[in-house]
């Protein structure tokens, strides 16, 4: 029996909206206490509680599924289906009362993404896609931009905050893109960056040292919106390889050439 990806996707979108709105209301009532997982890498009780609630709800939706989740609330592994969850992508923004921050949920079937949902709380926007179904923002179909060159593009990135091994090369890339594009943005949530590429607000995005739960949902949404994703070498190791570039399909080759030149 084949799985109804659309039905699952719409249920997960609804779950993410409900969870995100509740989280936003709670955040407005109390300031999160941050615990450090490592240098500049924070977690709050909000992250842990949200992840636990999502795991409970997603387990009811697909009882045999497993989880790859940032806060390790569940170590269950599914034979075929695994959810990849970031309960709050942009925790540092969340702690400081800034937006964007997102809930990111993807469903992996064997090694393939089949459902992706990113809910951004500040603007109450839910981005979602399912395999071969297109990409959507709050029920409206979305597509990547059609800007043809870096010179016409608005580019997003994320600054390194724990791994500074490529810092010099990264700064070089910033120099280039600042001078040769419409500008650079650093929003503080990779899930939002990817969602914004998918709907054409941004034309390209790159970052290193990201984890699977930062990029899994957004990557599928971009692909279903007509964009392209790769690692810095043009390959497919963006989920576990800790490096990702994403853009519309027109600027992709030029963008990949530049990013790989700086961050090889």
Active site residue ranges: 70, 86, 88-89, 91, 214
Strand partners, 69: 85
List, in sequence order, every beta strand (DSSP E) within the chain.
34-38, 41-44, 66-69, 81-89, 102-109, 112-120, 125-130, 135-137, 140-142, 154-157, 183-185, 204-208, 227-230, 243-248
Tokens standing for residue 74: 């569940």
Contact 262, 176 (CB under 8 A): yes
| Main-chain phi, psi angles of 38, to 5 degrees | 170, -175
Dist CA 239 CA 156 (whole Å): 18
Sign, CA dihedral 68-91-194-259, equals negative
């Amino acid at each position: 029996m084949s799985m109804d990806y659309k039905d699952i996707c719409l249920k997960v979108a609804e779950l993410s909206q409900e969870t995100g709105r509740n989280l936003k209301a709670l955040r407005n009532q109390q300031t999160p206490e941050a615990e450090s997982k490592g240098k500049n890498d924070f977690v709050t009780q909000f992250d842990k509680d949200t992840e636990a609630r999502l795991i409970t709800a997603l387990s009811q939706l697909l009882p045999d599924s497993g989880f790859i989740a940032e806060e390790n609330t569940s170590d269950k592994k599914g034979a075929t289906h695994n959810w990849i969850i970031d309960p709050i992508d942009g925790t540092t923004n969340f702690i400081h009362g800034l937006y964007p921050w997102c809930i990111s949920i993807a469903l992996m079937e064997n090694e393939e993404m089949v459902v992706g949902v990113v809910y951004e709380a500040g603007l109450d926007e839910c981005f979602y896609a399912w395999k071969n179904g297109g990409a959507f923002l709050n029920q409206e179909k979305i597509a990547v931009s059609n800007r043809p060159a870096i010179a016409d593009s608005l580019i997003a990135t994320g600054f390194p905050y724990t791994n500074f091994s490529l810092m010099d090369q990264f700064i070089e890339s910033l120099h280039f893109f600042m001078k040769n594009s419409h500008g650079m943005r650093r929003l503080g949530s990779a899930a939002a960056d990817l969602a914004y590429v998918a709907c054409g607000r941004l034309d390209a995005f790159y970052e290193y040292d990201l984890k699977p739960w930062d990029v899994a949902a957004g990557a599928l949404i971009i692909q279903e919106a007509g964009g392209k994703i790769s690692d810095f070498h043009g390959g497919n190791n963006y989920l576990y390889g800790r490096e990702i570039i994403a853009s519309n399909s027109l600027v992709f080759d030029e963008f990949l050439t530049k990013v790989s030149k700086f961050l090889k």
